[in-house]
Amino acid sequence: VFTFPRFVIPIRIHTMISDDAADTLKEELFPLASVLTPNIPEAEELIGRKITSAEEMIDAAKEISEKYHCAVLCKGGHNLNDANDLLYADGAYRWFNGKRIDNPNTHGTGCTLSSAIASNLAKGFSLEKSVERAKEYISGALAAMLDLGKGSGPMDHSFAIQNEYTKEA
């Protein structure tokens, strides 16, 4: 990934950081990104209004993309849709449909998705194929149903140690 002049950035601006830190991310880091991956609450924070429909997701992704001059993967869920994500890039959009997997161990799914996209880009896959493969990876890791400790634990990343996700384009 370090060979690319731009990179994939997971967004965590609505919790755990000060307003000054969030402003610095928006002003200094986001314009350097190839892809931003906000979930619905994070996208709402970036555009300053609620997102309540698929059409509003498209509008939000477009607005974020135009503001930061990068692609945007607006992650679904959050009671808006099942697990459908929207990729907006170069003035066009594509939906990546998914199914919600009933697994309480979802800690790190957003960061894992961003990392998987970046890894696939580094392997030479197109942006759309990178997102597609990353979503498939997340679904597999969740479906493996790893259950460690108490609370929302991690997904099972070991499900894919030796399979199609290790291959290059």
Please give the sequence-ordered ranges of beta strands (E in DSSP) within 11-147, or none if there are none: 33-37, 71-74, 85-89, 92-96
Active-site entry in 76, 109, 112, 135: 109
Render 37-74 in DSSP notation, one character per residue.
E-BHHHHHHHHTS---SHHHHHHHHHHHHHHHTSEEEE
Please indicate whether residue 110 is annotated as part of the active site: yes
Catalytic annotation, pick one of 110, 112, 135, 140: 110
Angle at 129 between CA 133 and CA 155, to 5 degrees: 20
Active site residue 140: no
Specify burial of residue 39 (Cβ count, 10 A radius: 0-12, 13-18, 19+): buried
Amino acid identity of residue 1, one-letter, is V
pTM: 0.83
Tell me, what's the pLDDT at 76?
84
Q: Catalytic site residue 48?
A: no
106 among known catalytic residues: yes
* 55 has pLDDT over 80: yes
Is 108 noted as a catalytic residue in this protein? yes
- The pLDDT of residue 78 is above 70: no
Of 77, 106, 123, 153, the active-site residue reads 106
